[in-house]
């Protein structure tokens, strides 16, 4: 049984990733603290590393142009604690280009369904850090998908600022739905 003081300590230190301080002050194990934080709906705030600056300029420009023609920047609905999450995807038949995306921005490549007998492949990224770095790398060179990429970046900035917790405010949820609807409307143009 956790005391109110221990719960307050978890709520204070867990979102910033200072689990060692919680262990020190409560005497609990790291595993027990993670379980209790999860049950309390307290999560680590996502952090973003900015590794996109290390990618060569010609790769950024090429992938920005390719993504404008073949890519998809959208929100997907989830049944979990977030109502929407960003997703970046490219669906083509050439794995060589998809491997270039994966080499520089992580994600995964999988075979995808096609309306024809042609074999198609799909590269996707859904981790905030990967999406953010992809957006920051191609945004200056993007034309057609620029507005959609900005909407996804806005969402990620909101999540980093507010934390990826179970108890998002109603304002946050409404803003996420608004961003989703704007992005969907842009896809129809």
Is 0.85 topped by the overall pTM? Answer: no
Q: Examine the domain organization and report whether 156 and 88 are in the same domain.
A: yes
Q: Examine the domain organization and report whether 26 and 57 are in the same domain.
A: no
Q: Residue 55 is encoded by which pair of tokens?
A: 């990618």
Q: Examine the domain organization and report whether 18 and 58 are in the same domain.
A: no
- Count structural domains, the chain: 2
Residue-number span of the structural domain to which 152 is assigned = 52-187
25-to-21, 43, 135, 188 alpha-carbon distances in Å = 6, 19, 40, 54
List per-residue pLDDT tens for the chain, 189 residues long.
889 999 888 888 887 777 888 889 899 998 898 888 878 877 776 677 888 889 999 999 999 999 999 999 998 876 655 567 899 999 998 899 999 999 999 999 999 877 777 889 999 998 889 999 999 999 999 999 999 999 999 988 888 877 655 446 677 778 888 888 888 888 765
Indicate if the alpha-carbon torsion angle 177, 179, 181, 187 is positive or negative: negative
Q: Examine the domain organization and report whether 32 and 125 are in the same domain.
A: no
Q: Examine the domain organization and report whether 115 and 150 are in the same domain.
A: yes
28-to-13, 17, 37, 143 alpha-carbon distances in Å = 14, 15, 12, 52
Q: Examine the domain organization and report whether 29 and 108 are in the same domain.
A: no
């Amino acid at each position: 049984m956790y005391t109110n003081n221990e719960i307050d300590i978890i709520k204070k230190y867990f979102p910033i990733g200072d689990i060692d301080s919680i262990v020190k002050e409560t005497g609990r194990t790291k595993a027990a603290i993670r379980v209790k934080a999860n049950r309390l709906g307290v999560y680590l705030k996502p952090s973003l590393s900015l590794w996109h600056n290390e990618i060569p300029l010609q790769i950024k420009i090429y992938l920005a142009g390719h993504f404008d023609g073949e890519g998809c920047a959208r929100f997907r609905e989830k049944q979990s604690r977030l109502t929407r999450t960003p997703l970046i995807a490219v669906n083509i038949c050439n794995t060589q280009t998809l491997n270039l995306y994966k080499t520089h921005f992580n994600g995964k490549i999988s075979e995808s369904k096609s309306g024809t007998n042609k074999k198609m492949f799909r590269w996707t990224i859904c981790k905030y850090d990967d999406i953010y770095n992809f957006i920051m790398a191609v945004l200056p060179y993007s034309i057609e998908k620029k507005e959609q990429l900005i909407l996804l970046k806005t969402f990620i900035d909101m999540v980093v600022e507010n934390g990826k917790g179970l108890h998002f405010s109603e304002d946050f949820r409404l803003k996420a739905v608004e961003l989703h609807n704007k992005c969907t409307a842009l896809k129809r143009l």
